Amino acid sequence: MAQFLDEVSRTFSEYLLIPGLTTKECIPHLVNLQTSVVKFKKGEESSVKINIPFVSAIMQSVSDDGMAIALAKNGGLAFVYGSQSIETQAEMIHKVKNYKSGFVISRANLTPEHTLADIVALKERTGFSTIGVTEDGTSNGRLLGIVTGRDYRPTRDDHNRKLKEFMTPYSKLVYGEYGISLQEANDLIWTNKLNCLPIIDKDQNLRYFVFRKDYESHKEYPNEVSDGKKRLVVGAGINTRDYEERVPALIEAGADVLCIDSSDGFSIWQKETLEYIKTTYGEKVKVGAGNVVDRDGFLYLAEAGADFVKIGVGGGSICITREQKGIGRGQATALIEVAKARDEYFEKTGVYIPICSDGGIVQDYHMVLALSMGADFLMMGRYFARFDESPTRKLLIGGNYVKEYWGEGSNRARNWQRYDMGGADGLKFEEGVDSYVPYAGKLKDNIEITLGKIKSTMCSCGVTNLKELKAKAKITLVSSTSIIEGGAHDVIVKDSRN
C-alpha cells in the first residue's frame, strides 16, 4: 500500500512571523542580505555569492541577457534560459560578461524600410523611444541611423512614412568608437549637447548606446555582483539531453554557474548530468540541480554532486503540474523539510549546500517567510516578468498595461526537455499556461521597495542578516479567520484615485 504522510502540505500564506526584540542595531540600512549560491566546506566561503537573495527563473519570458544585466547590477543573479539554441544562449551569456556599466545594448531596432507605424508599435511594446536603425534590424547590425521622439509626430505624421525618410542618418551622427571609456562617452554627449551617443565598431556595427539621462543614474550600484575581473555574474540553465554540447559552450562564454532546469529533479537523468560535469570539469564548474520537495530528493542530488538544490514542484503562478499530474507539495512544507535535511547534511559532512526556494511567492512577505524557513535564496518568475527588463512585449489590455508571461511547460514554450522522462517523445500535454502579468515598470524601482519591506520585517524580528533570521525567527501557523483579520476589514476603503 502507498505511503501516507500525515503532515498537511502547507503554503506560505498559512504562516506569520512573530516579532522579536528590535535593538538599536536593527535599522534597515544596516541589514545585510548577502547569501551563498554554491556549496562550501565548513570554515570556508562560497565561491559564488549574491548581495540580495533573488535569482530569476530559467524562463523564456523572464531571463535573457537584459534581465541578467539588470539583476546583477542590483545585487542578484539571472539564469539565462536554456530552451533555445546553444549558440543564442551562449551569445546572451557573452553579452552579459562583456557588459560595461553605462553602455546599453539597444533593445529597440528597425531597418530603414520600416515605417512610422512600426516605431509606434515598437514603442508601445517596449517603452523605448530611441530606435537604432540598422541594416538588418538587429541590435548589432550595421548602423544606418537613429530615430528619437523628436523626429516625428505620431498624431500628425503619415504612419506609412519609412524610417529612411526622417531618421537622423549615419552621416550626421556623432558617435563613439568601440573601446571608448564611459567618461569619454559622457564628455562627447555634453560637448555636443546630445541625448544619446551610439557606440560603433570599426565595421560600423552598433554595439551600445550611452544616454545623457543615465549620467546621474549610472552612479555606483552598491549591490552590484561581479567576478574577479569586474564582470557581471550570470547563470545559465541547462537540460539533461544536450549537456555534453551545451555546457562547454556556456563555460566558454563565461557563465559563472549553471542550473539543471527540470520540473522533476529526483531522477537518474540529473544524476548522470551532474556526474558528467563534475567528472569533466571537477569543482571548477558550479551547477545546481532540482526541483525536489523532500529529504530524499535533496540527499539524492547532494550525493550526486549538486552545488545547490532547487525546491518546489507545482507552486509557480503559471505552473499546472499539480493540476495535470497530481504531483507536488505545498512550498512551505517542502522547504521546511529540505532545510532540515540540508542542516543535518552539513553537520554530518561539513559541506553546506544552499537551497533555492522556487515558486509559491505571492506576497512580498512570503519572501521573508521562505528565507526564515531555510531558503538561502529565492527563484522568481512572475515577480521579474512584470518589469521593463524582461524580454516580453508590453501590451495595453482593458485599459491596463500588462506584460506577457508563459510557462516553460506551456505549448508556447514547448520546452519538453524540462519535463523529460527519458523517452524519445516530446511534450504530450501542457504543465504551464500562457498569461499576462500587470506591468510594473523598472526592475530597480520595484526591487528597492521589495528589499525595503524585507529589511523592515527582519528588523521587527530582531535580526540583521539571513543567518540570524534562520536561527532566530519565530513562525506561527494562522487560521483562515486570522488571514482575514490581517487585511483591511470592517471598513469602507477609499478609492485611492479620488
- The sign of the dihedral angle between the CA atoms of 302, 304, 308, 309 is negative
Structural contact between residues 114 and 137, judged by C-beta atoms closer than 8 angstroms: yes
**Mean pLDDT, residues 205-224:** 78
Q: Residue 1: its pLDDT value, please?
A: 80
pLDDT range class, residue 413, cuts 50, 70, 90:
low
- Is pLDDT at 489 greater than 90 in this prediction? no
| Residue whose cell numbers read 544585466 | 69
Instruction: Give catalytic residues, as residue numbers.
Output: 319, 418
CA 27 to chain centre: 28
Grid cell for residue 294: 523532500
**Mean pLDDT, residues 246-262:** 97
Q: Residue 488: its pLDDT value, please?
A: 73
Q: Residue 263: its pLDDT value, please?
A: 82
Render pLDDT for 124-152 as a digit per residue (tens, 0 to 9). Answer: 887 788 999 999 999 999 999 999 988 99
131/178 Cα distance (integer angstroms): 19
More confident residue, 105 or 369: 369
Render pLDDT for 16-67 as a digit per residue (tens, 0 to 9). Answer: 999 999 999 999 999 999 999 999 999 999 999 999 999 999 999 999 999 9
Q: Residue 237: its pLDDT value, please?
A: 98
Please state at what angle helix 65-73 crosses helix 86-97, rounded to 10 degrees.
30
Q: For the chain, give the mean pLDDT.
A: 91
Helical segments of 282-408, H only: 295-304, 321-325, 331-349, 364-372, 382-385
CA 393 to chain centre: 16
Q: Residue 490: its pLDDT value, please?
A: 73
Q: Residue 53: its pLDDT value, please?
A: 98
- Is pLDDT at 409 greater than 70 in this prediction? no
More confident residue, 433 or 301: 301
Q: Residue 485: its pLDDT value, please?
A: 76
pLDDT range class, residue 322, cuts 50, 70, 90:
low
pLDDT range class, residue 494, cuts 50, 70, 90:
confident
Look up residue 418 and give its amino acid. R
- Is pLDDT at 13 greater than 80 in this prediction? yes
pLDDT range class, residue 432, cuts 50, 70, 90:
low
pLDDT range class, residue 498, cuts 50, 70, 90:
low
**Other Cβ atoms within 10 Å of 59 Cβ, number:** 33
Q: Residue 486: its pLDDT value, please?
A: 75
- Is pLDDT at 6 greater than 90 in this prediction? no
Least confident of 123-127, 165-169, 303-307: 123-127
Percent of the chain with pLDDT over 70: 91
Least confident of 224-228, 371-375, 482-486: 482-486
- Is pLDDT at 408 greater than 80 in this prediction? no
Least confident of 28-32, 120-124, 293-297, 465-469: 120-124
Look up residue 121 and give its amino acid. A
DSSP H or E segment with residue 258:
strand 257-260
Q: Residue 131: its pLDDT value, please?
A: 93
Q: For residue 258, which of 479, 38, 454 has the smallest C-alpha distance?
A: 38
Q: For residue 132, which of 64, 186, 202, 209 has the smallest C-alpha distance?
A: 209
Grid cell for residue 340: 532540515
Query: Which residues, listed in sequence order, are joined to residue 208 by a DSSP beta bridge?
Result: 199
User: Residue-wise over 101-139: b if at least 16 C-beta within 10 A, else e?
Assistant: bbbbbbbbbbbbebbbebbeebbebbebebbbbbeeeeb
- The sign of the dihedral angle between the CA atoms of 404, 410, 413, 419 is positive
- Is pLDDT at 424 greater than 70 in this prediction? no
- Is pLDDT at 429 greater than 70 in this prediction? no
Look up residue 177 and give its amino acid. E
Least confident of 89-98, 282-291, 340-349, 404-413: 404-413
Grid cell for residue 432: 504551464
pLDDT range class, residue 417, cuts 50, 70, 90:
low
Q: Residue 102: its pLDDT value, please?
A: 78
Least confident of 244-248, 404-408, 450-454: 404-408
Render pLDDT for 111-122 as a digit per residue (tens, 0 to 9). Answer: 999 999 999 999
**Mean pLDDT, residues 209-231:** 78
CA 169 to chain centre: 36
| Residue whose cell numbers read 515577480 | 383
Cα dihedral 118, 123, 129, 134 in deg (nearest 10): -40
- Is pLDDT at 310 greater than 70 in this prediction? yes
Percent of the chain with pLDDT over 90: 74
pLDDT range class, residue 407, cuts 50, 70, 90:
confident
